[in-house]
Structure 1
Amino acid sequence: MKQHDIGASVDSLLARSASLPSPAERARLRRAGGFTQAEFAEALGVHRVQVARWESGRAEPRPPHKQEYARLLQGLAAKHPAPEPDPVAG
């Protein structure tokens, strides 16, 4: 197998295994970044309705969109971490 073929194979596996946060967290991260569903859709090359489905849990992204969506969300998560639970309210 050529070196280029190996890299493509590894990229393919990584794309299939990209982990995504819960649908609600996906929406939270998008809003925390100040983005609309339409902006995400345009960046990912999908329709806005598809982003809405991913955020509602009615659908899950598939490669190649899944890998790029996960990367986008990971970048936002680094800038906008989830709030810590209130230990008093627990």
Structure 2
Amino acid sequence: MSDPLRRIDALVEEDTTLPTLRVRQQLRLAAGLTQAEVAEAIGVKRLAVARWEAGVTQPHRGNRRAYAHLLRRLAAKYPDAAIEGAPREG
């Protein structure tokens, strides 16, 4: 398979689904991360993460991919925080 076809397959198979707003925050808090730390890891400003968690805006494609990846990794590490309605930490 040629390289462009692999890149296309990767785009199609990529999961950029984001959890609910509350779960996004719960995952971050469970990991003990600040919005600034998440923003730095993704390469955006803290205000962007705050807006994503509040549902004011949605991350654009590249940032969405990185944010979704981070949230999936946090959900695997902190499965209880990934449950809608779980008590908030902090």
The runs of 5 or more residues in structure 1 that have no matched partner are 86-90
Structure with greater contact order relative to length (CA < 8 Å, sep ≥ 6) = 2
Contact 1:54 1:61 in 2 (8 A): yes
Larger Rg computed on CA atoms: 1
Secondary structure of the structure 2 residue equivalent to 1:64: helix
Alignment match, 1:58: 56
The alignment's TM-score, normalised by the length of structure 1, stands at 0.80
Q: What are the residue-to-residue correspondences of 1:4-83 with 2, within 5 Å? A: 4-14=3-13, 18-82=16-80
Residue segments in structure 2 that go unaligned for 5+ positions in a row: 86-90
Aligned length: 83
In 1, the alpha carbon distance for the partners of 2:8 and 2:74 equals 27
Normalised by the size of structure 2, how large is the TM-score? Answer: 0.80
RMSD, aligned CA: 1.9
Q: For 2:11 and 2:59, locate their aligned partners in 1 and report how far apart those are by CA, in whole Å.
A: 15
